Amino acid sequence: MEKDVVILTGNEAIALGAHEAGVGFASAYPGTPSTEILENIARSGNIYCQWSTNEKVALEVASGASLAGRRAIVAMKHVGLNVASDPFMTLAYTGVNGGLVIISADDPGMHSSQNEQDNRYYAKMAKVPLLEPSDSQECKDFIVKAFEISEEYDTPVLLRTTTRISHSGSVVKKSKARNQETARTYSKDSMKYVMIPAFARNRHKILLEKFEKLKEFSDKTDINKIVNLKDKKSFCKIGIISSGACFQYASEAFKDYPILKLGMTNPLPFGLIEDFVSDKSLIIVVEELEPFLEEQIRASFLNCKVIGKSFLPGYGELNVEILKSLNKFIASENILEFIHEHTLKDLENKIKKFKEKNSYISGNKEKNDIKDSVKKTIPPRPPVLCAGCTHRPVFHILKKLKVMVMGDIGCYTLSVLPPLDSLDSCLCMGAGVGQALGIEKANDNYKNKVVSVIGDSTFFHSGITSLIDNVFNRGTGLVIILDNRVTAMTGHQTNPGIGSTLMGEDTHMILPEEIVKAVGVKNIRIVDPYDVDLLERTIKEELNRKELSVIICRQECALINQKQILREFYIDESVCKKCGMCIRIGCPAIGYENDKYFINQAICTSCGVCSQICPWDSIKANEENNL
């Protein structure tokens, strides 16, 4: 019998929420920490799901599904919303037909991202309602609520999680699912959906009116509420305001103070906040990254003394220890008395002095203590390309050739680390191909000395337009497409080059070389990166060419290429000169201990790259019949 109460991660709970909300369409581009949302929705089997080529397209197709009357959900990581921001901003004007919910999974602490931007500002800029769940139950419940808001107020809704919420598990109580068949009918309405200036002006006015109504909703909804209000503390002069994962830290660190827990953070419930702050002498806003709540509360309640970022860091994740140190400060310095007679500025100066004297406040000491205890029990696992990674030989050669390498987002970004140490840049999805063109146009010295590298999925995501720009503007550089036949970094999702959809249907396999040829690149080479000599020759030839060229390095990701290993590589100690060349390619299967180099057969994938790199032919293979 299926259980009604289950333990789910935030991402799994969002998927369950989509099911209970009667969602009929789901799309996404994979990106940590959001990837598992679509994977889990797809597992339910009764919702149409698709990986899209990028987040902008994912939102556009979902908006089409919404227009057709279906409830539609789109998931992406925070930087994905930058890509999708164009349709996002204008969807706020057009509104929706079927409910439309966009998940932005933010990544404070940058566990797997190139920045830690705070996407709550997108909701504010677009005037779109924003919900922030604090645990898995709320992830599920807020999705259902988000669809109700979306349809009632004719607006897309942004639901923001952070890595802690996306990947932590907690208890979720299931509810009855809404019937998917309750789709709305579509009626043509050009003035609503066709955003020519004449119509958009009116829609902007409607958006502002809608936002006023949403403010009223925010004030009365029970997803904004005061908690921790024990009778004896109801007259407490200190109050906490928080949302999302930070609410969990705040409720653990500030057990004695009432907390205004905000589930809806755009628009803010200003009436509720006014009630909450009216009898308090000090308000502490607990939030990660930007002072999104703090600035709005300060600006709206000028008589209220509000602190937040003057004590808490504006970067990284918060934790209970940091908040406990704030609690300690309040207790030890008799703050309530102090603020009675001093200004907020005085209090901020006091905080500054306290922080200078107590460097542990950043929480780093406690974190380091934890790290030290972990270090003793778990061997270090530095981020490296996997054993047998198909990208390794490419970066080994690029390093050897001492060229400038414009990178991109993918597993191959790890080639920036020693010993491969190859990348000069990694900005955002699809950026490397454009950056390389800019470099050669800006400085002739870099002609034939700059290479851009991009993965197959990233090429489909946003590399194609940069390649067209190279062709259009007569670029002469070398672009290497690292085609490992899968979207590897986020966990082997399909992409347009694979030939199958997320729903398991066969589809046209779009080969990068067909696109490269179609946009006008004349010099296209396809190489197996495991053939190191051929790869090096090809890179050298194409680097010296006076025209744009593209090399496609095609070999399945070592993790999917689980063919039977037909040979076993070993180092022949009798001929090994201990030059260390093999270890410099950074394969985790090659080790050095007791003055000996060795291959760890448990993780070696038998790619054969090291045996081609050893200058003394000391790495040999036992062939199949010897195994």
Minimum distance, C-beta of residue 599 to ligand SF4, in the bound complex (Å): 5
Residues binding ligand SF4: number (CB under 6 A): 27
Which amino acid, one-letter code, is at 173?
Answer: K
Chosen residue from 205, 255, 578, 596 binding ligand SF4 by CB under 6 A: 578
Q: Which residues contact 596 (CB under 8 A, 6 or more apart)?
A: 571, 573, 576
Minimum distance, C-beta of residue 252 to ligand SF4, in the bound complex (Å): 45
Q: Which residues contact 313 (CB under 8 A, 6 or more apart)?
A: 322, 362
* Interface segment toward ligand SF4; rule CB under 6 A; list 22-30, 230-238, 310-318, 585-593: 585-593
Chosen residue from 476, 581, 598, 620 binding ligand SF4 by CB under 6 A: 581
C-alpha neighbours within 13 Å on the C-beta side of residue 355: 18
Binding track over 360-389 against ligand SF4, x by CB under 6 A? ---------------------------xx-
The answer to whether 411 contacts ligand SF4 (rule: CB under 6 A) is no
* Interface segment toward ligand SF4; rule CB under 6 A; list 281-289, 434-442, 444-452, 572-580: 572-580
Q: Are 394 and 455 in contact, with CB atoms under 8 Å apart?
A: no
* Interface segment toward ligand SF4; rule CB under 6 A; list 34-42, 207-215, 242-250, 587-595: 587-595
Residue 616: closest CA among 586, 583, 575, 585: 575
Of the pair 498, 599, the CB lying nearest ligand SF4 is at: 599
The answer to whether 582 contacts ligand SF4 (rule: CB under 6 A) is yes
Minimum distance, C-beta of residue 482 to ligand SF4, in the bound complex (Å): 17
The answer to whether the bond into 33 is cis (omega within 30° of 0) is yes
Residue 97: closest CA among 26, 28, 13, 188: 188
* Interface segment toward ligand SF4; rule CB under 6 A; list 86-94, 190-198, 352-360, 584-592: 584-592
Strands 264-266 and 130-131: antiparallel
The b/e string for 43-62 (b: 16+ C-beta within 10 A; e otherwise) is: eeeebbbbbbbbbbbbbbbb
Distance CA 521, CA 74 (A): 34
Residue 480: closest CA among 451, 450, 513: 451
Minimum distance, C-beta of residue 386 to ligand SF4, in the bound complex (Å): 8
Of the pair 186, 616, the CB lying nearest ligand SF4 is at: 616
The answer to whether 618 contacts ligand SF4 (rule: CB under 6 A) is yes
The answer to whether 146 contacts ligand SF4 (rule: CB under 6 A) is no
Residue 478: closest CA among 456, 511, 453, 514: 453
Which amino acid, one-letter code, is at 102?
Answer: I
Strands 157-162 and 100-106: parallel
The answer to whether 609 contacts ligand SF4 (rule: CB under 6 A) is yes
Minimum distance, C-beta of residue 383 to ligand SF4, in the bound complex (Å): 17
The answer to whether 580 contacts ligand SF4 (rule: CB under 6 A) is yes
Tokens of residue 102, six digits: 């966009």
Minimum distance, C-beta of residue 594 to ligand SF4, in the bound complex (Å): 14
Question: What is the phi-psi region of residue 334: left when phi exceeds 0, alpha when psi lies from -120 to 50, beta otherwise?
Answer: left
Of the pair 286, 582, the CB lying nearest ligand SF4 is at: 582
The answer to whether 605 contacts ligand SF4 (rule: CB under 6 A) is yes
Of the pair 259, 607, the CB lying nearest ligand SF4 is at: 607
Of the pair 173, 578, the CB lying nearest ligand SF4 is at: 578
Distance CA 398, CA 553 (A): 13
Give the helix, strand, coil percentages of the chain, each rounded to 5. 45, 20, 40
The answer to whether 557 contacts ligand SF4 (rule: CB under 6 A) is no
Using the 8-state DSSP alphabet, how is residue 497 labeled? T
* Interface segment toward ligand SF4; rule CB under 6 A; list 149-157, 162-170, 366-374, 604-612: 604-612
Minimum distance, C-beta of residue 618 to ligand SF4, in the bound complex (Å): 4
The answer to whether 569 contacts ligand SF4 (rule: CB under 6 A) is yes
Chosen residue from 579, 591, 596, 623 binding ligand SF4 by CB under 6 A: 579
Cα 185 to Cα 96, 157, 334, distances in angstroms: 12, 20, 62
Of the pair 411, 607, the CB lying nearest ligand SF4 is at: 607
Q: Using CB under 6 A as the criterion, which residues of the chain lie in contact with ligand SF4 when the complex forms?
A: 387-388, 569, 571, 576-582, 587, 589-590, 597, 599, 604-610, 614, 616, 618-619
